[in-house]
Structure 1
Amino acid sequence: MRVITYGTYDLFHEGHRRLLERAKALGDYLIVGVTTENYDDARGKLNVQQSLMTRIKNVEDSGLADKIVIEEYEGQKVQDIQKHQVDVFAIGSDWLGRFDYLKDYCDVVYLERTKGVSSTQLRNEAGVIKLGVVGAGRIAHRFVQEARFVSGISVEAVHNRTHSTAEAFAAEHELSRAVEDYDELLASVDAVYVATPHDTHADFARRAMDAGVHVLCEKPMTLTRAETEELFALAQERGVVLMEAIKTAFAPGFQRMVALARSGAIGQVRSVDATFTKLVDEGRELQPPAGGSISELASYPLVAVVKLLGTEVVDVRTTSLQPEESPVEVYSKIDVTFTHGEATSRTGLGVKAEGDLVVAGSGGYLYVPAPWWKTEYFEARFEDSRDNKKYYYKFDGDGLRYELAEFAWLIRNETFESYKLRAAESVAIADVIERARTDARVLT
């Protein structure tokens, strides 16, 4: 029986070895495909640390591969299976169902992840960052799925205020454990991803940093300027990374759009108009005291505002819609004034509008169509339409991999701030959110 499996095998550790052992046990001849850098990039795998030759040697040194092939392109598995007369295709169960199409050519086996096999010493040697998830809601589920695309990250455990929910989460994502005590989680990981309700972020982040643990915190980091400033001051004091998880800020297309606008290509930026709405019927987004369209969505338009116009806000004026039957506002228009320009942010949970972004400059403008917060395409438009240009960029998956890759890079390089989203920018966003929520003209 000939068995084939594939992987990146970056920072080769005991988990990789166990998976290869289990694949080899399915037959008597194991073929291992190792992905190239270009193919990893094409399939959205980020932060690969080692060269292809080093990763091939990692597999060779395991002594488990009878043959090694190089995977270079989408669809190669079909050809490899036929070329090498493979009987069984084996892959980790986190890809469950993804490769069922190969059943036309051979048996397909999904190998359950072996939990808790990598010792602290091996992980330290390999440079793998052990990460705990705090919260077990929708965004946490998407985050764990995206984390498999970031090399050198191992999501180890989950903590949630309802422990049975954490246990179900851990089982679904094949994590080592669900941890009932938060301090116990902090003692076993290098970093945490905080994805709890907005008004609990600060406490979880503060406790983690006091324990010397790095923090990636979902947006909005807090709902006040003072608390956000306090958290960044604590991160500096403790020597840990604190980063706000506004995925748009770290997406390649958004970064290029900001760079183009700030380079003077459309003259001086004078206005930013950004809209993000979705229709929500139920859930924590509609529950006080932390719910509402501003707290839920305004971080996205405001990250565009501060990246393009800066952090020196002169004035904030807000109009919100809160129908009598609603406990929170369901639509808000926030007008932000700067000394050199202005911006408008529109957010809605009960109102639907075109979700585009327009950046107006003294020499032209940028247009980013919906969903602009997942920037894949934008246009530079000018008075003379012959000068117009179109730009295309990748946006893989749900985009959470980009923020996680940046977070991991900061930790490994002992760098405590990302230029893609600076502390001062997170503070400015919190400031506008606080002012918008507390001083709005409310319509019913």
Structure 2
Amino acid sequence: METKRDGKKKQTTVITYGTFDLMHEGHIRLLERAKQLGDFLIVGVTSDTYDRQRGKLNVRQSLTERIENVRRTGLADLIIVEEYEGQKVEDILRYNVDIFVIGSDWKGKFDYLSNYCQVVYLERTKGISSTQKRGIVRLGIIGPGRVARRFVQESRFVSGVSVEAVFHPVEAKAREFAQELELAWGGSEWQQFVESVDAVYVATPHHLHVEYALRSLEEGKHVLIEKPLALSRSDAERVFALARQHGLVAMEAIKTAFMPAFRKLIGIALSGTIGDIVYVDATFTKLIPEKGREFDPNLMGGAFTELASYVLLPIARLAGKRKWDAELRFLTKRGQSGVDVWTNVEVIVGSLVGFGKVGLRAKGEGHLVIGGTEGYIYVPAPWWKTSYFEIRREKPSDNRVVSDAFEGEGFRYEIAEFISAIQQGRKPVGLADDDSVWMSWIIERFLRGEGVKEVKS
């Protein structure tokens, strides 16, 4: 704990909190504005342990370094360490705080503190330059939809990234999204967009993923592409080839692949813990009205294009290089618009059989089972948000539960891996390029009708 308190009677005490990793102008401006609200400013710096507990990822500096970041600003009268959830109330009471201050991207989250002091949400600093944000990846979004909105909200839990801009061909849509989520720029001018960012998240309808990924790579931008990365093998290969040519990171945004518990699950399954893997059974279904993008054939809607990446993921990870010898069979039912409303896929790779079930108008138990010769792994619904799983054997007394962190919607894990890969100049870990190409190939086979049997209404 560090203090500049001089013993004089305080008037208005202000408190704020943050990680303050890679201190930049945005942090400093927030502290300056917080300081202006009172006479005595207390700054809480989150501990390494608490950051992990609350799901803050990719923090690059130690607690000591981050405290020093705050001290060097000369703005804090008292620096404390935030070590656990619920500490804010205790700190407010302990230090007789009058005003709690936090950035507006947390608006509404801390309203409960108004029972103890005034709560002020300060507008986020927009448009900070790359030189002001050294070590920070400036990320732009293509496609201001539902998924992108959740993505931006979760990005605040990842250190080393700042979502700065959004692009959409319809100017008004981009500007509305930028205003709502307090981004520095929103518009339809492509060149202005790409010049304001270092990396791009492609969250358009499926049929536009490859077009925008290639355009972004040609501009020298790293790309995170929402699943499915592509609707054909050749298109997926083009994306990764161009990324390699320019020395850039290209990654498919399947959040499950990067979640700690799922990565642990794959490692345990491959280690021989349940013997030889015999089958994989994965289901992902949801019930939504038969309208909108998901059911539009012009936007390549349908249950399989929408959800197959998830159920194919564990099969790809466990089959390894053998997956390219797969024999495929599909059973599908189409809805009123002509796209599939549910589809079952059977993937046979040597002695391994994978079963994947997806649906938009049919509901099933959303679990994952990996069967082996000496036991099986069971992941309860919703398995694609894996936080724990069970290793089950013939004798119940030999069963055990394995768990790991899962916070929010899970987007933070894919964001953290993408940003780390950029910063470290390496390939992403958790999902190989070859896996994404293979899944695109299977989607292509389905769309071509190869091995597809339709169930009539």
Q: TM-score range by the shorter chain?
A: over 0.9
Distance in 2, Cα, partners of 1:93 & 1:313? 52
Give secondary structure in 1 for the equivalent of 2:172: helix
1:375-413 superposed Cα distances (whole Å, 9 cap, x missing partner): 012111111222111112221000000000000000011
Structure-to-structure mapping, 1:117-266, within 5 angstroms? 118-124=128-134, 127-266=135-274
Alpha-carbon RMSD across the aligned residues, in angstroms, is 1.0
Q: Which amino acid aligns with 2:434?
A: A
Answer whether contact 2:172 2:187 (CA < 8 A) is retained.
no
Q: Which amino acid aligns with 1:121?
A: T
In the alignment, structure 1 residue 388 sits paired with structure 2 residue 396: no
Identity in percent: 51
Give secondary structure in 2 for the equivalent of 1:121: coil
1:102-157 superposed Cα distances (whole Å, 9 cap, x missing partner): 111111111111222x2322223xx0000101100000000000000000101000
In the alignment, structure 1 residue 284 sits paired with structure 2 residue 284: no
Give secondary structure in 2 for the equivalent of 1:136: coil
Give secondary structure in 2 for the equivalent of 1:122: coil
1:43-94 superposed Cα distances (whole Å, 9 cap, x missing partner): 1100001011111111111011111111001111111111111100010011
Distance in 2, Cα, partners of 1:400 & 1:131? 14
Distance in 1, Cα, partners of 2:364 & 2:39? 59
Aligned to 1:300: 310
Structure-to-structure mapping, 1:1-400, within 5 angstroms? 1-116=12-127, 118-124=128-134, 127-281=135-289, 282-289=291-298, 290-310=300-320, 311-323=323-335, 325-400=336-411
Distance in 1, Cα, partners of 2:260 & 2:201? 21
- What stretches of structure 1 move > 4 A for 4+ residues in a row? none
Q: Which moved more, 1:105-114 or 1:383-392?
A: 383-392
2:443 is aligned, of 433, 437, 440, to: 433
Give secondary structure in 2 for the equivalent of 1:109: strand
Q: Which amino acid aligns with 1:320?
A: T
Q: Where in structure 1 are there 5+ consecutive unaligned residues? A: none
Give secondary structure in 1 for the equivalent of 2:151: helix
Distance in 2, Cα, partners of 1:255 & 1:7? 29
Please report how far the alpha carbon of residue 326 of structure 1 lies from its aligned counterpart in structure 2 after TM superposition: 3.2
Answer whether contact 1:331 1:349 (CA < 8 A) is retained.
yes
Distance in 2, Cα, partners of 1:314 & 1:13? 50
Distance in 2, Cα, partners of 1:280 & 1:298? 16
Distance in 2, Cα, partners of 1:370 & 1:122? 44
Give secondary structure in 1 for the equivalent of 2:340: coil
Give secondary structure in 2 for the equivalent of 1:421: coil
1:264-309 superposed Cα distances (whole Å, 9 cap, x missing partner): 0000111101000001112201100410000000000001111112
Distance in 2, Cα, partners of 1:183 & 1:279? 39
Distance in 2, Cα, partners of 1:419 & 1:31? 39
Give secondary structure in 1 for the equivalent of 2:131: helix
Distance in 1, Cα, partners of 2:157 & 2:116? 26
Please report how far the alpha carbon of residue 17 of structure 1 lies from its aligned counterpart in structure 2 after TM superposition: 0.5
1:311-348 superposed Cα distances (whole Å, 9 cap, x missing partner): 3342111011014x232110000011101311011000
Distance in 2, Cα, partners of 1:313 & 1:384? 35
Distance in 2, Cα, partners of 1:57 & 1:242? 35
Give secondary structure in 2 for the equivalent of 1:330: strand
Distance in 1, Cα, partners of 2:279 & 2:366? 16
Please report how far the alpha carbon of residue 181 of structure 1 lies from its aligned counterpart in structure 2 after TM superposition: 1.5
Give secondary structure in 2 for the equivalent of 1:383: coil
Give secondary structure in 2 for the equivalent of 1:342: strand
When the two structures are superposed, what TM-score results if normalisation uses the length of structure 1? 0.97
Distance in 2, Cα, partners of 1:418 & 1:192? 15
Q: Which amino acid aligns with 2:306?
A: E
Aligned to 2:418: 407
Answer whether contact 1:313 1:336 (CA < 8 A) is retained.
no
When the two structures are superposed, what TM-score results if normalisation uses the length of structure 2? 0.95
Distance in 1, Cα, partners of 2:257 & 2:90? 39
Answer whether contact 2:169 2:187 (CA < 8 A) is retained.
no
Give secondary structure in 2 for the equivalent of 1:86: coil
